[in-house]
Amino acid sequence: MQIHLAIFHPKHAGILSAALTLGAEKVILLYHPQDDISGLKSAIQARGIKCEDGLIDFDTQLAREHFAQLIETHQQHDIIFNASSGYNKLVLLAFEQFTNFGYPVFLVDKFTDELHWLNEKHTHKDIHLSHEIKLKEYLKSFNTQIIDSGQTSPEDKASRELTQWIVSQLGQADRAIGSINYMAMSADINHRYTLQQNDFKNHHLQQLLDHFAAAGKLTIRGKKIKFTDDASRFYCNGGWLENHVFALLYGMRKQRPQLADLAKGMTVVRDQGKVRNEIDVAAICHNRLHIIECKTRRFGNSKADKSAANTAIYRLDTIKSLAGGHSGKAMLVSYQPLNKYTLSRAKDLGIYCCSHTQLKQLERHLFKFIDQTN
């Protein structure tokens, strides 16, 4: 029986992915009393892998003796230490004991998704992990539950063609796009909005409305606009950008089989709590969580705009950290230009940004985002 010994840490991944790749039959999961291992344990067991858990003492000598006892108890099996997760002192103590007793130790690199053998390199080759983990089990391992799994297939052809046309109008119809966003947001409960006199004089807006109507997103009768349904209203209120990002990633899977799972409009909640978070686009690539926030509002230099931009950046940073641990990645995609202040703040937090005219090369930026190993 192949057994993996691992130490739980609430910000570290690499335990489930390694167990799946190496074909472990059992995981012994040690943890600190303050940590909640229920999510990870459930995800491991759901894959048909036995999971035995136990508390670990932070006292140096007691921990050393604990590791020695575990090795002795399981010496008739193929026991391996997974050093990818855990608290530094405990990881070093476990490495010491496994090396002293002549048992292998490996580490999963959170950036490259490679499994490196640390003390058995003469008999074991480093390998790339398999890409089997899905969004649900990855999030569960970080005690994050999916309330609504969102959409897992791209939009229809008419919507895709309209979205491509909108992107082609970058720099020319920015204000008109903003106007339609406002109309969709301000429409009444029956999805109706009354056009103002100035709207009829706006050439870009009228052209845009005609394209949206031709794609079946709305109808125009005199001064009245009626959005077709909830989905169409969402699309007109900026949802087209979210759809665009998702559709591009969906198509990229042929070139990036590491994209193991993908969803749009997913709603999650942490630790059985009541605060819900919607993730515009979420993906598992290289066994890491990638989240993307899509914005069509304008982020100018006013105090209110800077505040809104900060909120978006900090929200992204919080979700990627809580739901994805230290290996989580985040990206902000904005139809409008981002000011230097926002770009600087995003860079400090390791959030990739793509905005305005860069959207014409959005697929290239998405490839760069998922391929980055930092």
Every domain of the chain with CATH number 3.40.1350.10 lies at: 133-374
Classify domain 133-374 at the CATH class level: alpha beta
**Bridge partners of residue 220, in order along the sequence:** 225
The pLDDT confidence band at residue 220, using thresholds 50, 70 and 90, is very high
CATH architecture of the domain formed by 2-130:
3-Layer(aba) Sandwich (3.40)
pLDDT higher than threshold 80 for residue 144: yes
Do 91 and 7 meet the contact criterion of CB atoms below 8 Å apart? yes
- 290 pLDDT higher than 80: yes
| Among the listed residues 272, 286, 266, 363, the one whose alpha carbon sits nearest the alpha carbon of residue 329 | 286
The single residue listed with the structure tokens 């994805």 is: 324
Q: Would you call 70 exposed, middle or buried from its count of C-beta atoms within 10 A (0-12, 13-18, 19+)?
A: buried
CATH 3.40.50.10770 range(s) for the chain read: 2-130
- How far apart CA 367 and CA 13 sit, in angstroms, is 23
Q: Look at phi and psi of residue 240 and say left if phi exceeds 0, alpha if psi is from -120 to 50, else beta.
A: alpha
CA dist., res. 123 & res. 264, Å (int): 43
CB atoms within 10 A of CB 1: 11
Average pLDDT over residues 114-122: 86
From 56-70, 156-170, 357-371, the region with the lowest mean pLDDT: 156-170
CA distance 2 to 142: 24
| Number of separate helices (H) and strands (E) present in the chain | 14, 16
> What's the pLDDT at 123?
78
Q: Convert 242-278 to b/e letters by CB count within 10 Å (16 or more is b).
A: bbbbbbbbbebeeebebbbbbbbbbebebeeeeeebe
Taking 70 as the threshold, does the pLDDT of residue 305 lie above it?
no
For the residues of 21-59, what is the DSSP string, one character each? HHT-SEEEEEE-TTS--HHHHHHHHHTT-EEEEEE---S
How many Å apart are CA 205 and CA 274, to the nearest integer?
40
Q: Mean pLDDT, the chain, as a whole number?
A: 92
- Beta-bridge mates of residue 267: 148, 278
Among candidates 113, 69, 49, which has minimal Cα distance to 287? 113
Residue 192 has pLDDT above 90, yes or no: yes
